[in-house]
Amino acid sequence: MKLNLRQIEVFRAIMLSGSISGASKLLFVSQPAVSRLIAYTEQRLGFALFERVKGRLYPTPEARRLFTEVTTLYQSVQRVNEVAENLAENREGQLRLSCSPSLGQSLMPRAIAAFRRRYPEVRVVLQTLIPSVMLQALLSQQVEIGVAYMPIDHPSLATLPLYENRIVAAVPSSHPLSTKSSVTMEEIAREPLIGYSPDIPFGMLIRSMFGGPEGQPEPVVEVQQAHVACALVQAAAGVALVDEITVKGPVWTDVVTVPIVDTVEVPVNVFHLQLEPLSRLAQEFIRVLRALDAGWRRHGPTDATEADDADGDDHANVN
């Protein structure tokens, strides 16, 4: 290797300043040290870089050609430093997320809106996936984190708890059950029920809440997703069992949620690869999610600004 980084640095300093003394000031070294190094560099290269005329240095054509490449090199180094600074400040990049379909209608839009206000240059990619497909997306690193309230069990995944989340009864605001402080599963079973396909995890969970085969009501409408059930309740097509996170927010007008006696907890969790460190952007997004929950607890569901209000002075990274 004919040129090392120190030789390139000294050559560039002379080209920029036009003299040995100017280069020594730029580099905070002595003039003799600069002179010795540039003479050694010329010896290694086999050609002169500067002509010395009456005490002044004049770059040779070879030096000017070499300086063009050196300038390109320094621009690349500057770009590396800029990227490193942007990464440190979370100013650019891409965050790939996944969530269950119902959370894609309620929780995630508000969280992403709050995140984007802080980091407008970051591109967010969101996929709404059922648990089995989300698992494959996480394992294949198509997405960095997944957010869901149904469990995703795999030895390669880590689970971070986010929110408590209960199954509640969703009923039209004009329904007699809407004024009750709580309802039983027996009362729900006597109503026109909007149910779920028995071959999906949430459908299996709801069936278990009604007990054995003899206690299973026949749904008047069968759907695949909780937010679709909420839309049917809003249209007064019947009553449904949904998780409370899905119905939080201003979307479902004329829908009342009623607590269920002996309800089931379905906590919302973040899932990610256990042995793969989370990026700074992913850590920040999880912090936004947690701040969003704090806003719900204080004020009830409003809009995406609640995450900014709830965040306060908590700027610690999530590990």
Asked if residues 108 and 307 have their Cβ atoms less than 8 Å apart, the reply is no
Question: How many whole angstroms separate alpha carbon 13 and alpha carbon 231?
Answer: 69
Each residue's pLDDT tens digit, 182-216: 999 999 999 999 999 888 888 989 999 998 777 78
Each residue's pLDDT tens digit, 107-129: 899 999 999 999 888 889 999 98
Residue type, 197: S
Q: Which residues contact 132 (CB under 8 A, 6 or more apart)?
A: none
Neighbour-count burial for 72-107, b at 16+ CB within 10 Å, e otherwise: eeeeeeeeeeeeeeeeeebeebebbbbbbbbbbbbb
Question: How many whole angstroms separate alpha carbon 161 and alpha carbon 149?
Answer: 10
| Helix, coil or strand: residue 287 | helix
Alpha carbon separation from 18 to 93, 99, 277 (Å, rounded): 40, 60, 48
Q: Which residues contact 265 (CB under 8 A, 6 or more apart)?
A: 164, 165, 166, 167
The residues facing 196 across adjacent strands are 223
Instruction: Give φ, ψ of 303 to 5 degrees.
Output: -140, -170
**pLDDT in single tens digits along all 319 residues of the chain:** 578 888 888 998 898 888 899 888 888 999 999 999 999 999 988 899 999 887 788 899 999 999 888 888 887 877 777 667 766 665 567 899 999 988 888 789 999 999 999 988 888 999 998 888 899 989 988 899 999 988 888 999 999 999 888 999 999 999 999 999 999 999 999 999 999 988 888 898 999 999 877 778 999 999 988 889 999 999 999 999 999 888 875 578 889 999 999 889 999 999 999 988 898 899 999 999 999 865 554 444 444 444 554 444 443 333 2
Instruction: Give φ, ψ of 236 to 5 degrees.
Output: 65, 35
